[in-house]
Structure 1
Protein backbone atom coordinates (compact mmCIF):
# COMPACT_ATOMS: atom_id res chain seq x y z
CA UNK A 1 0.00 0.00 0.00
CA UNK A 2 1.31 3.43 -0.95
CA UNK A 3 2.73 5.46 1.96
CA UNK A 4 1.79 2.79 4.53
CA UNK A 5 5.05 3.10 6.49
CA UNK A 6 5.33 6.88 6.42
CA UNK A 7 4.11 7.67 9.95
CA UNK A 8 6.08 4.80 11.50
CA UNK A 9 9.36 6.02 9.99
CA UNK A 10 8.88 9.28 11.87
CA UNK A 11 7.55 7.93 15.18
CA UNK A 12 9.47 4.65 15.62
CA UNK A 13 11.92 4.18 12.72
CA UNK A 14 13.77 1.02 13.82
CA UNK A 15 10.56 -0.88 14.51
CA UNK A 16 9.19 0.33 11.17
CA UNK A 17 12.29 -0.90 9.31
CA UNK A 18 11.70 -4.32 10.92
CA UNK A 19 8.07 -4.20 9.73
CA UNK A 20 9.23 -3.30 6.21
CA UNK A 21 11.77 -6.14 6.30
CA UNK A 22 9.16 -8.63 7.52
CA UNK A 23 6.56 -7.72 4.88
CA UNK A 24 8.44 -6.72 1.74
CA UNK A 25 6.31 -4.87 -0.76
CA UNK A 26 6.18 -5.59 -4.45
CA UNK A 27 8.34 -3.64 -6.86
CA UNK A 28 5.18 -1.94 -8.14
CA UNK A 29 4.23 -0.79 -4.64
CA UNK A 30 7.72 0.62 -3.94
CA UNK A 31 7.70 2.45 -7.26
CA UNK A 32 4.23 3.82 -6.48
CA UNK A 33 5.57 5.20 -3.19
CA UNK A 34 8.37 7.02 -5.04
CA UNK A 35 6.04 8.33 -7.76
CA UNK A 36 3.56 9.71 -5.21
CA UNK A 37 6.01 11.15 -2.67
CA UNK A 38 8.05 12.87 -5.42
CA UNK A 39 4.94 14.91 -6.26
CA UNK A 40 5.25 16.84 -2.96
CA UNK A 41 8.39 18.88 -3.77
CA UNK A 42 7.36 19.12 -7.41
CA UNK A 43 3.93 20.64 -6.81
CA UNK A 44 5.07 22.84 -3.92
CA UNK A 45 8.00 24.20 -5.94
CA UNK A 46 5.70 24.98 -8.86
CA UNK A 47 3.29 26.89 -6.61
CA UNK A 48 6.14 28.75 -4.90
CA UNK A 49 7.97 29.78 -8.06
CA UNK A 50 4.95 30.66 -10.19
CA UNK A 51 2.45 32.07 -7.68
CA UNK A 52 4.06 32.93 -4.32
CA UNK A 53 7.51 34.08 -5.43
CA UNK A 54 10.93 33.19 -3.99
CA UNK A 55 12.36 35.54 -1.42
CA UNK A 56 16.18 35.41 -1.56
CA UNK A 57 16.46 37.62 1.53
CA UNK A 58 16.74 41.07 -0.03
CA UNK A 59 14.57 42.85 -2.57
CA UNK A 60 11.32 41.81 -4.16
CA UNK A 61 10.20 38.19 -4.52
CA UNK A 62 11.33 36.44 -7.70
CA UNK A 63 8.70 34.79 -9.91
CA UNK A 64 9.05 32.40 -12.82
CA UNK A 65 6.60 32.35 -15.70
CA UNK A 66 4.00 29.60 -15.32
CA UNK A 67 5.38 27.77 -18.34
CA UNK A 68 8.96 27.92 -17.05
CA UNK A 69 7.90 26.86 -13.55
CA UNK A 70 5.98 23.92 -15.01
CA UNK A 71 8.95 22.89 -17.15
CA UNK A 72 11.32 23.11 -14.16
CA UNK A 73 8.90 21.15 -11.94
CA UNK A 74 8.52 18.35 -14.47
CA UNK A 75 12.30 18.14 -14.81
CA UNK A 76 12.60 18.09 -11.03
CA UNK A 77 10.03 15.27 -10.76
CA UNK A 78 11.88 13.02 -13.19
CA UNK A 79 15.23 13.96 -11.64
CA UNK A 80 14.01 12.95 -8.17
CA UNK A 81 12.63 9.64 -9.41
CA UNK A 82 15.79 8.96 -11.39
CA UNK A 83 17.89 9.79 -8.33
CA UNK A 84 16.02 7.32 -6.12
CA UNK A 85 16.22 4.57 -8.75
CA UNK A 86 19.94 5.22 -9.25
CA UNK A 87 20.54 5.14 -5.49
CA UNK A 88 18.60 1.87 -5.25
CA UNK A 89 20.70 0.38 -8.04
CA UNK A 90 23.94 1.50 -6.38
CA UNK A 91 22.82 0.04 -3.03
CA UNK A 92 21.91 -3.21 -4.80
CA UNK A 93 25.21 -3.27 -6.71
CA UNK A 94 27.33 -2.54 -3.60
CA UNK A 95 25.57 -5.22 -1.53
CA UNK A 96 27.84 -8.04 -2.74
CA UNK A 97 30.87 -6.22 -1.34
CA UNK A 98 29.30 -6.41 2.13
CA UNK A 99 28.11 -10.03 1.84
CA UNK A 100 24.49 -8.96 1.51
CA UNK A 101 22.18 -10.51 -1.05
CA UNK A 102 19.12 -8.27 -1.30
CA UNK A 103 16.65 -8.22 -4.14
CA UNK A 104 16.37 -5.02 -6.15
CA UNK A 105 12.99 -4.46 -4.47
CA UNK A 106 14.69 -4.41 -1.04
CA UNK A 107 17.25 -1.89 -2.31
CA UNK A 108 14.43 0.22 -3.78
CA UNK A 109 12.53 0.11 -0.47
CA UNK A 110 15.66 1.29 1.31
CA UNK A 111 16.23 4.14 -1.16
CA UNK A 112 12.56 5.16 -1.32
CA UNK A 113 11.94 5.28 2.41
CA UNK A 114 15.30 6.93 3.07
CA UNK A 115 14.51 9.66 0.53
CA UNK A 116 11.05 10.29 1.97
CA UNK A 117 12.08 12.95 4.56
CA UNK A 118 13.97 14.83 1.84
CA UNK A 119 10.89 14.79 -0.37
CA UNK A 120 8.70 15.91 2.54
CA UNK A 121 10.98 18.95 2.89
CA UNK A 122 9.31 20.08 -0.34
CA UNK A 123 6.39 21.29 1.78
CA UNK A 124 8.71 24.04 3.04
CA UNK A 125 8.70 25.51 -0.47
CA UNK A 126 5.26 26.89 0.28
CA UNK A 127 7.05 29.41 2.52
CA UNK A 128 9.74 30.28 -0.04
CA UNK A 129 12.23 32.14 2.10
CA UNK A 130 15.77 30.93 1.42
CA UNK A 131 17.02 30.64 5.04
CA UNK A 132 13.86 28.76 6.10
CA UNK A 133 14.14 26.24 3.29
CA UNK A 134 17.85 25.73 4.03
CA UNK A 135 17.17 25.00 7.71
CA UNK A 136 14.29 22.62 6.96
CA UNK A 137 16.37 21.01 4.20
CA UNK A 138 19.24 20.32 6.59
CA UNK A 139 16.84 18.75 9.10
CA UNK A 140 15.34 16.57 6.35
CA UNK A 141 18.78 15.56 5.11
CA UNK A 142 19.94 14.66 8.62
CA UNK A 143 16.86 12.52 9.21
CA UNK A 144 17.26 10.79 5.83
CA UNK A 145 20.85 9.90 6.72
CA UNK A 146 19.69 8.62 10.12
CA UNK A 147 17.03 6.45 8.43
CA UNK A 148 19.65 5.07 6.07
CA UNK A 149 22.04 4.13 8.89
CA UNK A 150 19.17 2.59 10.87
CA UNK A 151 17.70 0.74 7.90
CA UNK A 152 20.70 -0.75 6.11
CA UNK A 153 21.49 -3.52 8.64
CA UNK A 154 17.80 -4.44 8.90
CA UNK A 155 16.78 -4.36 5.23
CA UNK A 156 20.04 -5.81 3.90
CA UNK A 157 20.29 -8.43 6.68
CA UNK A 158 23.89 -7.72 7.65
CA UNK A 159 25.61 -7.04 10.99
CA UNK A 160 25.54 -3.45 12.27
CA UNK A 161 29.32 -3.05 11.93
CA UNK A 162 29.17 -3.85 8.21
CA UNK A 163 25.92 -1.90 7.98
CA UNK A 164 27.66 1.27 9.12
CA UNK A 165 30.31 1.03 6.40
CA UNK A 166 27.70 0.00 3.82
CA UNK A 167 25.46 2.96 4.76
CA UNK A 168 28.46 5.30 4.57
CA UNK A 169 29.15 4.02 1.06
CA UNK A 170 25.52 4.62 0.08
CA UNK A 171 25.68 8.17 1.51
CA UNK A 172 28.80 8.82 -0.54
CA UNK A 173 27.10 7.45 -3.66
CA UNK A 174 24.09 9.66 -2.90
CA UNK A 175 26.29 12.74 -2.68
CA UNK A 176 27.89 11.86 -6.01
CA UNK A 177 24.41 11.48 -7.53
CA UNK A 178 23.40 14.87 -6.11
CA UNK A 179 26.46 16.54 -7.62
CA UNK A 180 25.67 14.78 -10.92
CA UNK A 181 22.09 16.12 -10.87
CA UNK A 182 23.35 19.63 -10.11
CA UNK A 183 25.91 19.44 -12.92
CA UNK A 184 23.22 18.23 -15.33
CA UNK A 185 21.02 21.18 -14.31
CA UNK A 186 23.85 23.65 -14.95
CA UNK A 187 24.56 22.10 -18.36
CA UNK A 188 20.87 22.21 -19.32
CA UNK A 189 20.59 25.82 -18.16
CA UNK A 190 23.62 26.79 -20.24
CA UNK A 191 21.99 25.15 -23.29
CA UNK A 192 18.98 27.43 -22.95
CA UNK A 193 16.71 25.34 -20.74
CA UNK A 194 17.05 27.71 -17.79
CA UNK A 195 14.26 29.48 -15.94
CA UNK A 196 12.33 32.38 -17.47
CA UNK A 197 11.56 35.16 -14.99
CA UNK A 198 8.50 37.41 -14.95
Structure 2
Protein backbone atom coordinates (compact mmCIF):
# COMPACT_ATOMS: atom_id res chain seq x y z
CA UNK A 1 0.00 0.00 0.00
CA UNK A 2 1.49 3.32 -1.03
CA UNK A 3 1.16 5.82 1.79
CA UNK A 4 -0.86 8.51 -0.01
CA UNK A 5 -3.04 5.93 -1.73
CA UNK A 6 -3.73 4.22 1.59
CA UNK A 7 -4.55 7.45 3.43
CA UNK A 8 -6.81 8.71 0.64
CA UNK A 9 -8.55 5.35 0.30
CA UNK A 10 -9.28 4.84 3.97
CA UNK A 11 -10.74 8.34 4.27
CA UNK A 12 -12.84 8.38 1.07
CA UNK A 13 -13.71 4.79 0.13
CA UNK A 14 -12.98 2.53 3.11
CA UNK A 15 -14.92 -0.49 1.80
CA UNK A 16 -12.73 -0.72 -1.31
CA UNK A 17 -9.62 -0.06 0.76
CA UNK A 18 -10.38 -2.94 3.12
CA UNK A 19 -10.65 -5.30 0.14
CA UNK A 20 -7.29 -4.01 -1.10
CA UNK A 21 -5.79 -4.60 2.36
CA UNK A 22 -7.11 -8.15 2.35
CA UNK A 23 -5.50 -8.83 -1.04
CA UNK A 24 -2.23 -7.08 -0.25
CA UNK A 25 0.79 -9.36 0.07
CA UNK A 26 3.11 -6.94 1.85
CA UNK A 27 4.95 -8.14 4.93
CA UNK A 28 4.37 -6.87 8.46
CA UNK A 29 7.58 -4.85 8.23
CA UNK A 30 6.60 -3.24 4.92
CA UNK A 31 3.19 -2.23 6.25
CA UNK A 32 4.45 -0.82 9.55
CA UNK A 33 7.69 0.85 8.42
CA UNK A 34 6.11 2.14 5.23
CA UNK A 35 3.31 4.00 7.01
CA UNK A 36 3.50 4.57 10.75
CA UNK A 37 6.80 6.51 11.06
CA UNK A 38 5.56 9.03 8.49
CA UNK A 39 1.99 9.28 9.79
CA UNK A 40 3.21 9.75 13.37
CA UNK A 41 5.21 12.78 12.24
CA UNK A 42 2.00 14.68 11.43
CA UNK A 43 0.74 15.25 15.00
CA UNK A 44 4.27 15.45 16.42
CA UNK A 45 5.57 18.15 14.08
CA UNK A 46 2.29 20.06 13.95
CA UNK A 47 2.10 20.10 17.75
CA UNK A 48 5.70 21.31 17.99
CA UNK A 49 4.95 24.25 15.70
CA UNK A 50 1.63 25.00 17.39
CA UNK A 51 2.86 25.10 20.97
CA UNK A 52 6.08 27.01 20.21
CA UNK A 53 4.97 29.48 17.51
CA UNK A 54 1.20 29.94 17.94
CA UNK A 55 0.34 28.97 21.51
CA UNK A 56 -3.07 28.62 23.09
CA UNK A 57 -5.21 31.07 24.99
CA UNK A 58 -6.99 30.42 28.29
CA UNK A 59 -9.63 32.83 29.54
CA UNK A 60 -8.86 35.64 27.11
CA UNK A 61 -5.29 36.16 28.30
CA UNK A 62 -2.07 36.12 26.32
CA UNK A 63 -1.09 33.10 24.26
CA UNK A 64 0.70 30.41 26.26
CA UNK A 65 3.72 28.84 24.56
CA UNK A 66 6.27 26.18 25.41
CA UNK A 67 10.01 26.58 25.19
CA UNK A 68 11.65 24.99 22.17
CA UNK A 69 13.56 22.40 24.22
CA UNK A 70 10.52 21.45 26.26
CA UNK A 71 8.31 21.12 23.18
CA UNK A 72 10.96 19.11 21.34
CA UNK A 73 11.34 16.60 24.16
CA UNK A 74 7.58 16.21 24.64
CA UNK A 75 6.93 15.84 20.91
CA UNK A 76 9.74 13.29 20.60
CA UNK A 77 8.21 11.25 23.42
CA UNK A 78 4.82 11.56 21.76
CA UNK A 79 6.27 10.31 18.48
CA UNK A 80 7.76 7.23 20.14
CA UNK A 81 4.51 6.59 22.03
CA UNK A 82 2.52 6.72 18.78
CA UNK A 83 4.84 4.19 17.14
CA UNK A 84 4.58 1.86 20.12
CA UNK A 85 0.81 2.33 20.35
CA UNK A 86 0.15 1.26 16.77
CA UNK A 87 2.59 -1.65 17.07
CA UNK A 88 1.00 -2.93 20.29
CA UNK A 89 -2.53 -2.52 18.90
CA UNK A 90 -1.56 -4.52 15.82
CA UNK A 91 -0.04 -7.26 17.96
CA UNK A 92 -3.19 -7.48 20.08
CA UNK A 93 -5.36 -7.71 16.95
CA UNK A 94 -3.15 -10.55 15.74
CA UNK A 95 -3.12 -12.25 19.15
CA UNK A 96 -6.93 -12.24 19.41
CA UNK A 97 -7.45 -13.51 15.86
CA UNK A 98 -7.57 -17.24 16.67
CA UNK A 99 -9.99 -16.61 19.53
CA UNK A 100 -12.52 -15.26 17.04
CA UNK A 101 -12.03 -17.99 14.46
CA UNK A 102 -9.61 -16.41 12.01
CA UNK A 103 -8.19 -19.34 10.04
CA UNK A 104 -5.46 -17.58 8.06
CA UNK A 105 -1.79 -18.45 8.44
CA UNK A 106 0.34 -16.74 11.07
CA UNK A 107 2.01 -14.57 8.43
CA UNK A 108 -1.30 -13.45 6.92
CA UNK A 109 -2.78 -12.74 10.37
CA UNK A 110 0.27 -10.72 11.36
CA UNK A 111 0.00 -8.60 8.21
CA UNK A 112 -3.76 -8.20 8.65
CA UNK A 113 -3.46 -7.18 12.30
CA UNK A 114 -0.81 -4.58 11.55
CA UNK A 115 -2.68 -3.26 8.50
CA UNK A 116 -5.87 -2.91 10.56
CA UNK A 117 -4.02 -1.01 13.28
CA UNK A 118 -2.47 1.32 10.69
CA UNK A 119 -5.75 1.95 8.87
CA UNK A 120 -7.95 2.59 11.90
CA UNK A 121 -5.45 5.00 13.44
CA UNK A 122 -4.92 6.95 10.20
CA UNK A 123 -7.84 9.38 10.88
CA UNK A 124 -6.36 10.15 14.30
CA UNK A 125 -2.94 10.83 12.78
CA UNK A 126 -4.43 13.07 10.10
CA UNK A 127 -6.46 14.97 12.71
CA UNK A 128 -3.12 15.89 14.26
CA UNK A 129 -2.75 18.60 11.63
CA UNK A 130 -5.12 20.73 13.72
CA UNK A 131 -2.36 20.92 16.34
CA UNK A 132 -0.87 23.66 14.16
CA UNK A 133 -3.45 25.87 15.87
CA UNK A 134 -3.58 24.38 19.38
CA UNK A 135 -6.95 25.73 20.51
CA UNK A 136 -8.24 23.17 22.99
CA UNK A 137 -11.82 23.14 21.66
CA UNK A 138 -10.69 22.77 18.03
CA UNK A 139 -8.32 19.91 18.71
CA UNK A 140 -10.79 18.16 21.01
CA UNK A 141 -13.48 18.35 18.31
CA UNK A 142 -11.08 17.09 15.64
CA UNK A 143 -9.99 14.14 17.77
CA UNK A 144 -13.56 13.23 18.71
CA UNK A 145 -14.64 13.18 15.06
CA UNK A 146 -11.54 11.22 14.07
CA UNK A 147 -12.14 8.80 16.93
CA UNK A 148 -15.73 8.18 15.86
CA UNK A 149 -14.59 7.48 12.30
CA UNK A 150 -11.87 5.16 13.59
CA UNK A 151 -14.45 3.15 15.53
CA UNK A 152 -16.54 2.89 12.36
CA UNK A 153 -13.48 1.64 10.48
CA UNK A 154 -12.84 -1.06 13.08
CA UNK A 155 -16.35 -2.47 12.79
CA UNK A 156 -16.37 -2.28 9.01
CA UNK A 157 -12.84 -3.51 8.41
CA UNK A 158 -12.51 -6.58 10.62
CA UNK A 159 -15.03 -8.85 8.84
CA UNK A 160 -13.38 -8.05 5.49
CA UNK A 161 -9.71 -8.13 6.42
CA UNK A 162 -9.99 -11.09 8.79
CA UNK A 163 -12.50 -12.91 6.56
CA UNK A 164 -14.95 -13.87 9.32
CA UNK A 165 -18.72 -13.61 9.70
CA UNK A 166 -20.29 -10.42 11.01
CA UNK A 167 -21.38 -11.86 14.38
CA UNK A 168 -17.86 -12.87 15.36
CA UNK A 169 -16.48 -9.73 13.74
CA UNK A 170 -18.68 -7.56 15.96
CA UNK A 171 -17.30 -9.17 19.13
CA UNK A 172 -13.78 -9.04 17.73
CA UNK A 173 -14.11 -5.34 16.85
CA UNK A 174 -15.51 -4.55 20.30
CA UNK A 175 -12.47 -6.23 21.86
CA UNK A 176 -10.14 -4.23 19.61
CA UNK A 177 -11.81 -0.98 20.68
CA UNK A 178 -11.48 -2.00 24.33
CA UNK A 179 -7.76 -2.60 23.81
CA UNK A 180 -7.49 0.81 22.15
CA UNK A 181 -9.13 2.49 25.12
CA UNK A 182 -6.84 0.66 27.54
CA UNK A 183 -3.80 1.81 25.54
CA UNK A 184 -5.09 5.38 25.64
CA UNK A 185 -5.53 5.29 29.42
CA UNK A 186 -2.10 3.70 29.79
CA UNK A 187 -0.58 6.52 27.74
CA UNK A 188 -2.26 9.09 29.99
CA UNK A 189 -0.89 7.42 33.12
CA UNK A 190 2.58 7.21 31.55
CA UNK A 191 2.37 10.93 30.74
CA UNK A 192 1.69 11.76 34.38
CA UNK A 193 4.60 9.58 35.49
CA UNK A 194 6.98 11.15 32.97
CA UNK A 195 5.93 14.64 34.04
CA UNK A 196 6.62 13.60 37.63
CA UNK A 197 10.18 12.77 36.62
CA UNK A 198 10.73 16.34 35.48
CA UNK A 199 10.06 16.04 31.74
CA UNK A 200 6.91 18.14 31.94
CA UNK A 201 6.18 21.29 29.92
CA UNK A 202 8.24 24.44 30.44
CA UNK A 203 6.48 27.64 29.47
CA UNK A 204 7.91 30.72 27.82
CA UNK A 205 7.70 33.82 30.02
- TM-score of the superposed pair, with normalisation by structure 2: 0.92
Aligned: 1:171 with 2:177: yes
Counterpart contact for 1:3–1:33, Cα < 8 Å: no
Counterpart contact for 1:2–1:29, Cα < 8 Å: no
> Could you tell me which of 97, 100, 111 is aligned with 1:105?
111
What is the distance in 1 between the residues matched to 2:17 and 2:59?
A: 39
Aligned length: 198
> Could you tell me which of 148, 151, 154 is aligned with 2:154?
148
Q: Offset at 1:57?
A: 4.9
Aligned counterpart, 1:77: 79
In the superposition, relative to structure 1, how do residues 24 and 144 fare at CA in structure 2: closer, same or farther (>3 Å)? farther
Counterpart contact for 1:57–1:129, Cα < 8 Å: no
Cα deviation, 1:143-182, whole Å, max 9, x if unaligned, reads: 1111111111111111111111100000000000000011
Aligned: 1:126 with 2:127: no
Please state whether the residue corresponding to 1:175 is helix, strand or coil: helix
What is the distance in 2 between the residues matched to 1:86 and 1:56?
A: 35
1:1-198 to structure 2, matched below 5 A, reads 1-31=2-32, 32-100=34-102, 101=104, 102-198=108-204
Q: Offset at 1:127?
A: 1.8
What is the distance in 1 between the residues matched to 2:196 and 2:59?
A: 25
120-129 vs 57-66, greater mean Cα deviation = 57-66
Unaligned runs of 5+ in 1: none
What is the distance in 2 between the residues matched to 1:158 and 1:57?
A: 51
Q: Offset at 1:29?
A: 2.5
In the superposition, relative to structure 1, how do residues 57 and 21 fare at CA in structure 2: closer, same or farther (>3 Å)? farther
- TM-score of the superposed pair, with normalisation by structure 1: 0.96
Please state whether the residue corresponding to 2:145 is helix, strand or coil: helix
Unaligned runs of 5+ in 2: none
117-126 vs 4-13, greater mean Cα deviation = 4-13
